[in-house]
Amino acid sequence: MSTNLSFPTARRTGRTLSVLASALLLASCATSGGLEPSAVLRSPDDVSATRSLAGHLSQAEFPRQDWWTRLGDPQLDALIGEALAGTPSLQVADARLRQARAQAGLSDAERRPSLSGSAQYTGVQLPETLLGDEFGGKLMHSTVLMLNFSWKPDLWGGQRAAYEAAVGQARAAEVDAQAARLALSANIARAYINLAQAYEAQQVARQEERRASQLFELGDKRVKAGLDNQLPLRQSESAIASARQQAEAAQQQIDALRNALAALLGKGPDRGLDIAPPSLLDAPSPAVPNVLPSELLGHRADVVAARWRVEAASRGIDAAKAAFKPSINLSAIVGLADSGLSDLFSNEALLGFGGPALSLPIFDGGRLRGQLDARDAQYDLAVAEYNQSLVGAMHEVADAVQAARSLDAQTAQATQARDAARAALELATSRYSAGIGNQLEVLTTQRPLLQLEQQLASLRAQRYAAAIDLDQALGGGLPLSAPQLSSSDSDTSKVTP
């Protein structure tokens, strides 16, 4: 029976195949229905803090990139500069950035045509016992030169969407690398402030030791003059020992903080021994730009990075949807083949193969729907993290401003109390020296003075930390590039890169 089809029959068969292909196309496109992300991006203006920041909003600018110089300590400037020149923590962030950029490059390469070349020589000898003397027992060889071309046209934009998703992740990694530098400089500044507090605590302890020693000398004179007994001397010795213990504890903290700073610099503990006592100026007054919160999107590293991840997840959804549609692969092989080298470059040695191939997903066990559902969930997660980072950013700004305001008031009150306690101690000491007072009065006024001096050292350190927190909360002056919001953000959450 003949298998050849007549022209009308072939035409009817072609129409049938076209109708079937169209039906399959509609069926495959419909399988992604019902799968959509549910999260909605919040606008920065939704996170209002106008009343919380009342009295501190002004025409002030965002922090400079070298914000730590406002603390006025050249040694701190040098330490942060040394750290930013390169530490293991920054190298980790930079390596992740290179990895993300390489992944974007791979995604871009998937969109491009590929061309490869090959050369092959093959030799074979088959046994004469199986094939006879006509083919067997002879060495047969061939030489083949080929060029292999392949290209998958991006009919539905899925490959471009996958590439843009990888670019979004790379840009988020770039922001993370900048954020790592901000975090490192802030951690160095905080450790440096703690070092300043430890030195101040040591100084307070030594002042207390000198006061206790002076009281011991005065008590010793009174005992020798028969005006007092040994009890005041023993109390003074106890105060001296306690002050020395506090000074030693402060020295232990100084050593630990020097080691911590050396580690932040990426160096060994010996580097910390070269760090001199800090000489910080007064912490700057808190000032917040009145464009908050709307302008915070372009200044906070975590908010910008989260926004890029939303963009990447959005483009990932587009790539997953494109996988439901048919695709075309174009391939071609062109080469030369001959049993020898003499005729390899002749027209008779030319070989070729190629053409388009259409593929269409029909039944895949739910794999494509599962991939799209996962991308939708990834988008919802990215939006939730962005919204949370926006809320957290304004929370940190308000916390830093309110802390600075309260600490300024506490410092003023503690300073007034310290001055009064110092005057009371001087009066009690004078009375004791004149013989009209006793040592109990001196000790009673001495203890509050010590506590107030320690409290002031702690308040000053907290105030410096609040200044650092505010600069970091406002973005630390990082040069950041955020994706632009589009008008459809409230519905589809798309962005324009």
**Does residue 335 or residue 95 have the better pLDDT?**
95
Whole-angstrom distance, CA of residue 277 vs CA of residue 462 = 18
> What is the pairing mode between strands 288-289 and 57-58?
parallel
Whole-angstrom distance, CA of residue 416 vs CA of residue 414 = 5
pLDDT tens-digit series, residues 281-294: 878 888 788 777 77
pLDDT value at position 56? 67
Whole-angstrom distance, CA of residue 478 vs CA of residue 66 = 9
- Most trustworthy range by pLDDT among 70-79, 144-153, 475-484: 70-79
Domains recognised in the chain with CATH numbers? 30-111+154-326+361-496 (1.20.1600.10), 115-153+328-360 (2.20.200.10)
Residue 374 has pLDDT above 50, yes or no: yes
Whole-angstrom distance, CA of residue 204 vs CA of residue 244 = 11
Whole-angstrom distance, CA of residue 20 vs CA of residue 4 = 22
Q: Which residues pair with 353 in a beta bridge?
A: 333
Residue 193 has pLDDT above 90, yes or no: yes
Q: Element (H or E) spanning 139, and its range?
A: strand 139-151
What average pLDDT does this structure show over 346-358?
A: 80
Query: Which residue has 């606008």 as its token pair?
Result: 43
Of 29-33, 122-126, 237-241, the range with the lowest mean pLDDT is 29-33
- Most trustworthy range by pLDDT among 28-42, 135-149, 259-273, 477-491: 259-273
What average pLDDT does this structure show over 450-458?
A: 90
pLDDT value at position 497? 35
pLDDT value at position 12? 52
What average pLDDT does this structure show over 418-423?
A: 90
**Predicted TM-score of the model (pTM):** 0.78
pLDDT value at position 485? 52
pLDDT value at position 22? 57
**Does residue 277 or residue 238 have the better pLDDT?**
277
pLDDT value at position 83? 92
pLDDT tens-digit series, residues 219-246: 777 666 666 667 777 777 888 898 899 9
Query: Which residue has 């001495």 as its token pair?
Result: 446
Query: Which residue has 């798309």 as its token pair?
Result: 494
Residue 34 has pLDDT above 80, yes or no: no
Query: pLDDT over 90 for what percent of the chain?
Result: 33
What average pLDDT does this structure show over 94-98?
A: 89
**Cα distances (angstroms) measured from residue 168 to each of 121, 125, 173, 302:** 46, 57, 9, 14
Q: One-letter amino acid identity for 348?
A: E
DSSP H helices, 31-146, are: 74-84, 88-110, 128-135
Residue 17 has pLDDT above 60, yes or no: no
pLDDT value at position 428? 83
Query: What's the chain's average pLDDT?
Result: 82
Give the residue among 92, 79, 238, 102 at the shortest CA–CA distance from 166.
102
* Measured CA angle at 174 (ends 173, 178), to 5 deg: 110
pLDDT value at position 1? 38
The string of DSSP codes covering 213-277 is: HHHHHHHHHHHHTTSS-SHHHHHHHHHHHHHHHHHHHHHHHHHHHHHHHHHHTT--HHHHTTPPP
